[in-house]
């Protein structure tokens, strides 16, 4: 299928006629639909969104779409987006003038058309493969909630998950606390021990500060006692 043939737009939109682009002697490209000058990058963007175009020489009216498409490929390759292997390019050049040259265009067209048809199947297969390797975001969120529930039940003995949410703004009826588990008793003992150690350290620090404050006063008192009266 040539570039001048109409292509369906994505998302099920109706087919549109190809955009007519005129190329002037100064190599400027003029989009007759938007009444503005465009670049090769603009044409490449049109191809990516499925919008067809045809390029004519502004002076002679000759269809030069093929040459412009070739220029777009050269531009893309020069930007570091190399997609055509060197061996493939050598083979294509080697077919020019060969007896098989007339069969190459139809073969390449069918191959690319088949590849384009299989793109959606490839994307679907890739998504399914990734879905099997990694759980969905919904499952991850559920696992995180369950982990938080377990953590809160360890640190807060009065925490109860799944309490009904009041709809009338009134506070829910008080629930009797669950008896502390063995893990909670051990945890509370460790907390009490840490509090005692902190209190003892605070007391020692206060004593040290008092000693530093009283030391100069004692030194001055002793010096006054040793000084003879006049």
Express each pLDDT in 148-201 by its tens digit: 555 555 544 444 444 555 555 555 556 666 666 666 677 677 777 777 777 777
Half-sphere exposure of 29 (CA within 13 A, CB side): 23
- Domain count within the chain: 1
95 domain residue, yes or no: yes
Instruction: Please give the backbone phi and psi of residue 59, each rounded to the nearest 5 degrees, phi first.
Output: -90, -45
225 domain residue, yes or no: no
**How far apart (Å, rounded) are the C-alpha atoms in residues 215 and 49?**
85
- Look at residues 113, 96, 27 and name the one whose alpha carbon lies nearest to residue 68: 27
Confidence category of residue 124, pLDDT binned at 50, 70, 90: confident
Give residue 64's domain range. 1-99
206 domain residue, yes or no: no
The conformation of residue 84, written as its DSSP 8-state character, comes to: S
154 domain residue, yes or no: no
41, 91 in Cβ contact below 8 A? no
So what's the pLDDT on residue 114? 85
Tokens of 73: 């490929």
Instruction: For the sheet with 29-31, list strands across it.
Output: 36-38, 29-31, 19-23, 53-57
What rounded mean pLDDT belongs to the chain? 74
226 domain residue, yes or no: no
116 domain residue, yes or no: no
So what's the pLDDT on residue 162? 47
So what's the pLDDT on residue 160? 46
> Does residue 2 register a pLDDT over 70?
no
> Does residue 204 register a pLDDT over 60?
yes
120 domain residue, yes or no: no
**Lowest mean pLDDT across 50-59, 67-76, 172-181, 203-212:** 172-181
H and E: helices and strands count for the chain: 6, 4
Instruction: Please give the backbone phi and psi of residue 210, each rounded to the nearest 5 degrees, phi first.
Output: -65, -40
135 domain residue, yes or no: no
Residue showing tokens 């570091």 = 80
């Amino acid at each position: 299928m040539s570039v001048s043939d109409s292509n369906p737009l994505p998302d099920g939109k109706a087919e549109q006629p190809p955009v007519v682009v005129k190329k002037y002697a100064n190599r400027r490209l003029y989009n007759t639909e938007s009444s503005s000058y465009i670049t090769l990058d603009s044409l490449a963007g049109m191809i990516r969104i499925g919008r067809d175009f045809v390029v004519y020489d502004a002076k002679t009216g000759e269809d030069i779409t093929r040459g412009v498409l070739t220029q777009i490929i050269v531009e893309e390759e020069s930007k570091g987006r190399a997609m055509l292997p060197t061996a493939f390019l050598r083979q294509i050049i080697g077919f020019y003038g060969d007896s098989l040259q007339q069969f190459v265009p139809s073969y390449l067209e069918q191959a690319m058309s088949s590849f384009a048809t299989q793109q959606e199947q490839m994307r679907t297969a890739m998504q399914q493969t990734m879905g099997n390797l990694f759980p969905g975001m919904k499952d991850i969120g559920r696992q995180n909630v369950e982990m938080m529930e377990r953590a809160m039940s360890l640190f807060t003995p009065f925490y109860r998950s799944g309490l009904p949410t009041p709809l009338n703004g009134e506070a829910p009826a008080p629930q009797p606390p669950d008896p502390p588990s063995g893990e909670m008793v051990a945890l509370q003992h460790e907390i009490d021990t840490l509090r005692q150690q902190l209190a003892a350290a605070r007391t020692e620090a206060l004593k040290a500060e008092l000693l530093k404050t009283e030391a100069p006063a004692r030194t001055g008192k002793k010096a006054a006692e040793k000084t003879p009266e006049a």
